[in-house]
Amino acid sequence: MAKKKTKFMCQECGYETPKWLGKCPGCGAWNSFVEEFVITGKAQSRSFASSSSGPNKPESIKNVARGQEARIPTSMKEFNRVLGGGIVPGSLILIGGDPGIGKSTLLLQTSSGLARSGQKVLYVTGEESLKQIKLRADRFNIDDEDLHVYAETNLDFIEQAIDQTNPAVVILDSIQTVFKEEVTSAPGSVSQVRESTGQMMRIAKSKGIAIFIVGHVTKEGAIAGPRMLEHMVDAVLYFEGERHHSYRILRGVKNRFGSTNEIGIFEMKEEGLTEVANPSEIFLEERSRGVAGSTVVASMEGTRTVLVEIQALVSPTSFGNPRRMATGLDHNRVSLLMAVLDKRVGMLLQNQDAYLKVTGGVKLDEPAIDLAVAVSIASSFRDDETRPTDVIIGEVGLTGEVRRVSRIDQRVNECVKLGFKRAIIPKKNIGGWTIPDGIEVVGVSTVQEALEYALGG
């Protein structure tokens, strides 16, 4: 007989404990423990039963046949770029993002494009009614015969609908709204999310259906639910963007079938999301010229080069402790670079407030932006403007040296396309590649040397 017992589980990280705790030892969240029922015995064994008929035997990797399944391309090239070339049949893909950022819009437009190409799509919604889906579809002129919509939250009924429809792609919006009857906790709990995702994964692998699941995010920006949710799926995509900007960025942070850290850039318009073919032009079209504190950096986002503007404002502090604020940059990286400028260059920044921003709502996290950030801070501190046709690339070490970066040829070629005349790069990156015509390349070894070129001439 199945036995029931209770346990307490953290809704943030999935930490389990037999008694209630005020603070989670795993993630440090307060008041996050919820009581859940645990079923043991035969019911549990049926819940976790494998879909295979029996155990398999180990096989030499030399004898394993290599599969060459064709990807399913979507109608959006930016989406294909992030996925690694298209949708892989049998894959489970998780998409997260803030409420109202456009996740449902992106997936509905993608479903329409797949349906027009002859692929049958099942769009399962647990948050909206069919009439609400129809209103959005009419607004985007979506009316495809092979696009099926289904409003349901019971996972057993959803599996029956998949068997009846036999689609190539399934979209589940969202994983926090569906539930399994065998699990006694409420929808959205750690147990429900884990069990529901596990069942969707078995459906995807056994039937060869590509499944997209939408996940809510916490206030910190991470996908809600247990951390193992991201480990179970094949790809994790984040849909990002400022609510006050029209541009949206689809970023891949995990992909078993392609490169990670790829981004796709879209613009939200009245008729839906449209692709941005050349994001560098968009991010630089409103760039300030002749103003101190502005630099341009060529950043690599996956296999794509994106040129963005970094702005810095340094002013004397009015308080005892100076403020350090950064938008689109790591706060700790900014503090480190200001310490390097203070110690190695001799700039007295201890009594200065510093505000930094990456324009366009882009988030930069690669080391190659260090030198551009340092030049922006120094430019604002000295009130000395940089040349508007300069691009600054390089990683900065703690001793003030400028270290080499990857794919320098691809970065410089993108600078030439957008009309920049000079690139300040690490000296170690000069050589081994052909410098294109129309641009001057300057190699520097230290931050001091880079400032002499960027601010002195």
Annotated binding site for ATP: 97-104
CB atoms within 10 A of CB 112: 23
Assigned token pair, 263: 């981004």
Helix, strand, coil content of the chain in percent (nearest 5): 30, 30, 40
Nearest in space to 305 (alpha carbons), one of 417, 454, 445 = 417
Cβ(339)–Cβ(384) under 8 Å?
no
Distance CA 326, CA 324 (A): 7
The order of strands in the sheet holding 272-275 is 147-151, 121-125, 169-173, 210-215, 92-97, 235-240, 247-255, 263-269, 272-275
* Alpha helices, H only, 74-129: 77-83, 103-116
Cβ(180)–Cβ(196) under 8 Å?
yes
Annotated binding site: 97-104
Distance from CA of residue 105 to its chain's centroid? 17
Distance from CA of residue 203 to its chain's centroid? 26
Nearest in space to 11 (alpha carbons), one of 176, 152, 127 = 176
Phi and psi at residue 370, in whole multiples of 5°? Answer: -55, -50
User: What is the 8-class DSSP label of residue 217?
Assistant: B
Distance CA 28, CA 285 (A): 43
User: What is the 8-class DSSP label of residue 71?
Assistant: P
Three-state DSSP class for residue 20: coil
Assigned token pair, 436: 């294109």
CB atoms within 10 A of CB 9: 23
| Distance set, CA 371 to CA 161, 269, 309, 338, 443 (Å) | 55, 35, 13, 11, 12
Question: CB neighbours of 391 closer than 8 A, spacing ≥ 6?
Answer: 296, 297, 298, 307, 411, 415, 420, 422, 423, 424
Question: CB neighbours of 442 closer than 8 A, spacing ≥ 6?
Answer: 422, 423, 424, 425, 453
